[in-house]
Structure 1
Amino acid sequence: MTDMPGPVSRLRYPLGWRVMDALERGAGILWPRALHRLTGWLLIAPALLLVAVLCLGLWRIAQGSLHVLDRATFLPAEAYTLENYRTVLDSATYLKIVWRSLSGAFLTVVFTLLLAFPYAYMLVRTPSPFVRKALLAVLFLPFFIGQVVRAYGWLIILGNSGVVNDALGLVGVTPMRLLFSFPTVVFGLVQYMLPFAVLLLAPALTAIPRETEIAAGSLGANWLQVLWHVTLPMARPGLVGAGLVVATLALTDFAMPAMLGGGSQDFIANAVYDQFFRTADQGLGSALALVLVALGSVLVGAVFAAFGAGTLAMGGKR
C-alpha cells in the first residue's frame, strides 16, 4: 500500500520543521547568501560593541586623568597636566596601596592554587558519582551567595564576639582581633576565588589520561614523584589560566578589602572609589584607575611571556 498523496502526506511533516523552514527562508531574504562570509562578524558584533564601549570609557578616563581638581570651584581644571600621576608616584600612601594590592594578589594566587588543585583533582579522579556530585554542589553553592554577603558572614564569624573567638574562649584562649588586617583580607579573597580556580583547573586535569599516571607508578614512581613529574607539568595550562584569573580578580577587588580590611587595608580599587565618590577628585581617581589597568596589563603580559596563556589560549599556541 503506497503512501496517500496530498494533504495527508503534508500533515506528517512536523509543524516545528515548517516553522524552522519559514525562518530559514526569512533569514535568506534578510541575509543573502552573498553575505554569508560576514556571518562571523555579525555574530561577534555585540562583543565588539562592548569592547568599543570599554575602550571609549578608558579614553574618557585617560582624558580625565590629565586634569587636576580646581579647589576653588571643585571642578576639573581646563589645563592638561601630568600632576595627578606625579601625585600617585610621589605619595608614600599610594605606593603602599599599590604594593599591598600586588602582594595581596600574589598571596591569593598561591594559597588559592594550593587549595584548588587537590579539590579539582579529587573532583576529576574520584570514582564515586555521589562524591563527585557532592563536591560540585559544595563548589557551586558560593555562587548563589553574593560576595558582599559572604564578607558579612566572615565579619560575624571572625568578630571579637564571633564564632572563632567563642570557640577559642572555650579552651582558655583570650579573644583576638582577627578582623581589619591584611591576612584577613587575603583569607577572604582566597575563599572567594577558590571556586573560580577549581573550575579552571578541572578541565586541565580531565585532559590528563589516568593511564599516564598509572604507567608512571608501574615504573617505580611513588605518588609524590608522579604528582611532581607527571601531573603538575601536564596541568600547567590549567594552573596558568587559573592563576591569571585569580590574580586579576584579586588585584581589582573592592569588597573584601573594604569590608574585611575596615578601611585600613585598601587596595587600588578602594582608592579609586574614595577619589571619585568621597573627595570628588575625578582626575586623581582616573589616574589611579589607569595605574590599576597598567599594573594588570603588565602582570598578564609578563605571565604570557614567561608561561604562555595556559587554558586561556583556547587551544592555540602556548
Structure 2
Amino acid sequence: MSDRFVRSHLKMRHLILLVELGRHASIANAAAAARLTQPSASRLISDLEHVLGIQLFERMARGVVPTWAGKMLIRRAGVALAEMDAAHFEISTLLSGIGGRVAIGSVLTPATNILMQAIKLFKARSQKASLVVDFSTSKSMVERLLDGQLDMVLGRILDTSTVPLLNFEPITDEVHHLIVRATHPLVGRANLQLAELVEQSWIVPPAGSILRDRLTALFLSEGLDPPVETVETLSVPLVVSLVTNTDMLVALPKELVQAQLAAGELVALPFDLKLRMDVYGIITRQGHVLSPGAEIMVDALREAAAVELAASRKQRALPAGLRA
C-alpha cells in the first residue's frame, strides 16, 4: 500500500504544498508559496486525504490546522525535499571539484577531544569537503536530524518515541564535577554540604536540558530549592571565563576544562554530585543513505571515540596520585 501510494499518487507538488502548509496556516498563502492556484491546492489536499482515507487538515475560519496525520506528512515531506536539496548540492559541489558538505550537531563534552580529533581525520581524508558543526542540546539537534538539516548528531536520544527512526552507536557517559577557581572560598574546605552549595552563584545550562533537570532534582531530593543566583548558558568559553574570574561554580565534566585544571587555575571541589549523564553516541537516521563525506565523518568519529575511550580506561587504571 505504501509503495503504491508513493509511486502512483504522491507527486513533487504534493511535497512542496505540504511543506508550505506547515509554514502557512492558510491554503491561499501556501498555494501562492508553492506557485499553485488555491483550487489546485485544495484539490491536491483532497486527493491525498481520499487516497490515505484520513483527514489531514481541519478547515477553520481563519485557515487550516494539520491533524496528527497531517503533521506527520508535513515533517516527512520536509525531509524528502531536504534530501533532494542535499542531492542537488552534492552533485553541484562534486562537479565543481569542491567535495560536498557535511553537517554535524554535538553536545558539548565530546567536542573537547573526540570531535576535534574526528575533524582532523575527516579533513585529512576529505580535504575538499565542507564541514558545518553546530552545538546545542540533544533534543533540538535530534529534531533537526529528523528534519534532514543535520547528517549526524553526537549526543543522546532523550525522546523514546524517536528510537525507531534513529540509529545509535553508544560511546560513553559523563561524570560531572563541581568546578571553581583556585582562589574560591570553598577550596580546601572539608565536609561540604549541599545546603551550603545551594547558596552559591551557579552557572547552569538552559531549562529543559537533561543536566539542568537532574541538578534541580538533586536539590529537591534534599528538600532544597534550586539555586536562585544563576547565569544560564551553553557557551563553554563564557563558562570558563566566568568560573575563572568570579566565585561562581559550575557542574562540568573535567574534560571541558582540562587545560585550566592542569594549569592550576581551576579545581574540582571534593563533593560528589552523583551526577552521571545518559550515554551519548553517534546518532543517524534509520534508513538514510549517508553521502560519501558523511560516511567519512562517521568513520572518523568512531575512530576518535575508540582512541578516547582507550585513553580514559588507561587513566582510570592508574593510581590516584598519578592521574592527570
For the criterion TM > 0.5, the same-fold answer is no
TM-score by length of 2: 0.22
> Whose Rg is larger?
1
More relative contact order in 1 or in 2 (CA 8 Å, sep 6+)? Answer: 1
TM-score by length of 1: 0.22
Q: Where is the helix percentage greater, Structure 1 or Structure 2?
A: 1
